[in-house]
Structure 1
């Protein structure tokens, strides 16, 4: 039965070889006419058609090899203009690997498929077909994977480039955060402490001659002290919120949800706590999403789902999904908040994706690969809402 399945793949590849020949011709025509813009329209149709055929071959190669052959294309932004999408496609190395494959694969497909079909229909050659089919189709699958998927070395090179870029972003973000903290301390707590020192000095000078004024100055100093403490607490919360350290990610997100004017439901499915830096990054990502919901969405309800997916606490992905039923149309590139969250997540190999069609709903998904400390678990399901 397995050989019949592989032979079916050979028949499909024989048909697709004809399609690839037509696509190769269109690639040539589109490339030749691109100087008069007509070619750009041709290529706009050829590229997705090529990717569709390549994805079919990836699926057959994965089935043949028993190993995944992932689709490695860079995401094309649907909300950007035509030329912006063209630049993304043209900058994708896999586009050019597909192009090379288009010109070579038809010959390989025709030869392999015709050989197998001729061996199958011949009475004398059927035993040969029986023994030749698995290795021949396996070789064809390796050929497709060579062109249509990145090798381990290429993946490592891309990983190094990604880490270098994320490290540079994180350094810039950290420098900006340090400047923000310095500014907050200088304009907030430091200014109040200077005022406090001056007030106490005036109170000390007034003790003998004007006790009533001295008492008033001491009272003012007490208020200034309380305000300075509040400023310091605000700065500390911006670094690492105490509620996050005390109650973990689930409890901290619950606390944020309770402070929202929009009713928010929180569901957590965590069997432990992630590492503190990852926990902090996800917390601030959720906080930014909730802030945007409160300021821009016009939503009546919102929801947050926290989960860890994988074989167990020791591996997998921490996922936070924040959604609302507001007006939609959110653009993560429109402000600095989301971009800052993305930079923070990139340091941990994390990602943030946004789905926000006009009219809603808006869904923001944060994913960070990490392990969980099962010694400190969180409630599996916790509903939380603000005022109705």
Structure 2
């Protein structure tokens, strides 16, 4: 039992030393990094109107994010304090203007910038406090051992250690006792004090109530859009069945009734009507197949998203190159949403871009299904209300996905779609 108790005491003492060292590291690195990044970020953002900041700001803000993410990492590893990072995705290949303003419009960017002054002040104090509790007692012990004589001679008066004015050996021993008390306090308080630093960091870097409320609003809106889209899709299916296949089947039934009456009286006429009924059945079957393909293409169900996109490309009148890198299949709803989104974007490229070549890239990385459609057309595509891309944006929003469009006048046009998902 004594051995176990001694082991726990040594482990706790070592934990206090480690907490002090980690706090000192975080405090020193945090102070230097926060000051440098804050000053650089402010200067770079102020230079955005003159153009220089458009190039430098994304690099600086990327550094700020990396610095904040390092703090998130050590908070989780050292104290188990999880600080979520909620940065909006930036499409690959985005031009400097788009990249700059997407980062500046991200609330997480301003939360990071607001955290830097806090980190260089209150954050620095809370970080170095565990180290101070470990190191400050050493001065008290040194005073008790005779250092007080040198310091009082040098200052010509009392030397203050905490609240103890050291002027002789008696008060020096009192300073040593205070140092011992602080050392005992560090044994108990250093790890919790380091955790306080990371809790302060989480309070500033963590998501705010306003952001969570905005998130709820977006989810409510996308859910309403999904319900409206589903109702519209059901009406379209009903209309297509009523005006197409159903009408042909009714006409075929009437022809068969006429054939039954004419088969003995006028075989030639019955034969003619039989051929017309056969053509009606073929047309009805074709319409039903097209309708089923519009609901959920068989190739998508049987072969997956990659082959379904390749099948789409084969039907295009443009030269199309498809690159697929998927280690598995996303869930069926996500797969269908991605397929129809790609279909709509490709249709827009054929109708409006004047392109001669299209590239489609489909891959999955870091929990995101990313699809990029690029064409060499005239450009000028916009994500405005009423365009086909608006419908694609709504479809992806149902799955917490995003759509980004880069289409300068003169081209090329790049449409990037991202949907968070895991592959089976």
Q: Does TM, normalized by the shorter one, top 0.5? A: yes
Partner SS for 1:305: strand
Higher relative contact order (CA 8 A, sep 6+): 1
**Structure 2: runs of 5+ lacking an equivalent:** 1-20, 44-48, 95-100, 143-178, 180-185
CA contact (8 A) 1:352 1:366 kept: yes
Q: TM-score, structure 2 length as denominator?
A: 0.61
Q: CA deviation at 1:161?
A: 4.0
- Listed as ranges, the matches of 1:310-349 within 5 Å are 310=366, 316-335=367-386, 337-349=388-400
Write the distance in 2 (CA, Å) between the matches of 1:96 and 1:169. Answer: 30
CA contact (8 A) 2:37 2:64 kept: no
**Structure 1: runs of 5+ lacking an equivalent:** 24-40, 79-84, 311-315, 374-388
Q: TM-score, structure 1 length as denominator?
A: 0.65
Write the distance in 2 (CA, Å) between the matches of 1:346 and 1:360. Answer: 26
Q: Residue in 2 aligned with 1:386?
A: none
CA contact (8 A) 2:369 2:421 kept: yes
Q: Which one of 312, 320, 325 corresponds to residue 264 of structure 1?
A: 320
Partner SS for 1:360: coil
The structure in which a higher percent of residues are helix is 2
Q: CA deviation at 1:371?
A: 2.9
Q: Which one of 202, 216, 220 corresponds to residue 164 of structure 1?
A: 220
Q: Residue in 2 aligned with 1:147?
A: 204
Between structure 1 and structure 2, the one with the greater Rg is 2
Write the distance in 2 (CA, Å) between the matches of 1:371 and 1:75. Answer: 17
Partner SS for 1:322: strand
Could you report, residue by residue, the CA deviation over 1:361-385 in whole angstroms, capped at 9, with x for unpaired residues? 2222222233323xxxxxxxxxxxx
- Listed as ranges, the matches of 1:248-287 within 5 Å are 248-287=304-343
Q: Residue in 1 aligned with 2:157?
A: none
User: Number of paired residues?
Assistant: 334
Q: Residue in 2 aligned with 1:231?
A: 287
- Listed as ranges, the matches of 1:58-137 within 5 Å are 58=68, 61-62=71-72, 65=75, 72=86, 108=122
Could you report, residue by residue, the CA deviation over 1:85-122 in whole angstroms, capped at 9, with x for unpaired residues? 9xx96xx8779979997998897479789999x99xx9
Write the distance in 2 (CA, Å) between the matches of 1:65 and 1:9. Answer: 13
Could you report, residue by residue, the CA deviation over 1:198-230 in whole angstroms, capped at 9, with x for unpaired residues? 333333344344332222122112111111111
Q: Which one of 227, 243, 250 corresponds to residue 187 of structure 1?
A: 243
Q: Residue in 1 aligned with 2:423?
A: 372
Write the distance in 2 (CA, Å) between the matches of 1:302 and 1:140. Answer: 52
CA contact (8 A) 1:6 1:64 kept: no
Write the distance in 2 (CA, Å) between the matches of 1:349 and 1:55. Answer: 22
CA RMSD, Structure 1 to Structure 2 (Å): 5.0
